[in-house]
Amino acid sequence: MKKLFSLAGAVMLAACTHLPDVPDPTPEPCDPGIVDFTNEIYPMIQSNCAMSGCHVGPYPADGINLSTYAGIRAEVKPGDPNDSELYEVLFESGDDLMPPPPMAPLSAAQKARIRLWIEQGAKETNCAGACDSTAATTYAAVIAPMLQANCVGCHQGTNPSGGIRLTTYAEAADAVATKGLVDAVHGTNGRALMPPAGQMSDCNVALLERWVRAGMPQ
């Protein structure tokens, strides 16, 4: 069995530079319950897998490049997560666990979304209208999952990128108030663009700004 995330790739945390080719399928309405690859699964994998020293670039770890939909798709068997390498390695132990220590493992909710995406056929979905909901944009329901997918792969642990952690409400609110998080997702006002691979989807940027305008509700 191939092994994602070789142990040598674990040294990438210091730089945490992402170099993926961002997918750009045409947005279209999705049926309720369909997992959004472009705005949910793809950034999750980029934040936790396709970073410098790991599964990206001309010499990716174990020859597995997860910076594109095609590369990710090659590691799954549509409809069968239990026979999909991308999913199986999330439940390994010790050094075989992916992402590798000292990175935090994916949450149960994230693993469930990857499983459901594979069960639904592992399609390159890009769900139009994802930002049209009138439901309250709270940290718990919207912002925490977004940051987990797009940012926490680098901004966690004892040595987070830029010294900025984004794993709790207090850390996210402080990043907005004192560290220019909103400027960073646009790459404006002297802030380097975050994530380094390129701007988050328009949907996610709009949701972050909506949350800030609402007073950053928990």
Residue 195 or residue 52, greater confidence: 195
From CA 172, how far away is CA 166, in angstroms rounded? 5
SS3 9: helix
SS3 172: helix
Residue ranges of E strands in the chain? 28-29, 127-128
Query: Has residue 51 got a pLDDT over 80?
Result: no
114-167: per-residue pLDDT in tens? 999 999 999 999 887 666 666 788 999 889 988 988 888 889 888 888 899 999
Torsion sign over Cα 191, 67, 114, 111: negative
Query: Does residue 195 have a cis peptide bond before it, meaning omega lies within 30 degrees of 0?
Result: yes
User: What is the percent of the chain with per-residue pLDDT over 90, rounded to a whole number?
Assistant: 33
Q: Does pTM top 0.85 for this prediction?
A: no
